[in-house]
Amino acid sequence: MLPPVLASTSRYRLELLQRLGLAPDCARPDVDETPQAGEAPRAVAVRLARAKAAEVAARYPGRWVIGSDQVAELNGSPLGKPGTVTAAQAQLAAMSGQVVAFHTAVSLHCDDRELAACDLTRVHFRALDAATIARYVAAEQPLDCAGSFKCEGLGIALFEAIENRDPTALIGLPLIATSQLLRQAGYTLP
């Protein structure tokens, strides 16, 4: 069976798939990631994971393509990737002392077949002062990360607790769900 194609150029997602003993090809999906009006954060994550997998699968007929997307949710509203230091600091200030939900969706797509799942992680942020936030953002530059942190790095120090079923989901790809979907697709995994 041919290795899957990862519909992402994220080194974090690639490293996660490599933990499963896979050596996927990678392709950047061409998908508009703008949330639709009134779309719930979980629905955004699922729709975008499916869209990424489907778009790349159209370029790789007969190959399973893995798409994933993560949307952070604070008090019912989605938090996107900050893009700037100022936006990252504002996001972290808003999350200080709060519980933030992270919806991490994964979709496998091959021709007209699709399998999908979505994982929920709740992150309890500790109270963060402006100096702590500024130091963290300067040190890690989490400008391309939903929620403005990297839990696989220094971002873990911003939390009081994490509630989830799959610790890899917060990094960007829920490996428990992904491995289940890959087995359904016919891959042999440990």
Position of tokens 């949307």? 71
Report how far residue 4's alpha carbon sits from residue 23's, in angstroms, rounded to the nearest whole number.
Answer: 8
Q: Is 166 a catalytic residue?
A: no
Residue indicated by tokens 């200080």: 96
Catalytic member of 25, 30, 32, 69 = 69
Rounded distance between C-alpha atoms, residue 94 and residue 117, angstroms: 29
SS (HEC) of 169-187: HHHCCCHHHHHHHHHHHCC
Judge contact between 171 and 14, C-beta under 8 A. Answer: no
**SS3 per-residue string spanning 120-174:** EEEEEECCCCHHHHHHHHHHHCCCCCCCCCCCCCHHHHHEEEEEECCCCHHHCCC
Q: Judge contact between 52 and 8, C-beta under 8 A.
A: yes
Which helix (H) or strand (E) segment holds residue 103: the answer is strand 99-110
Active site residues: 69
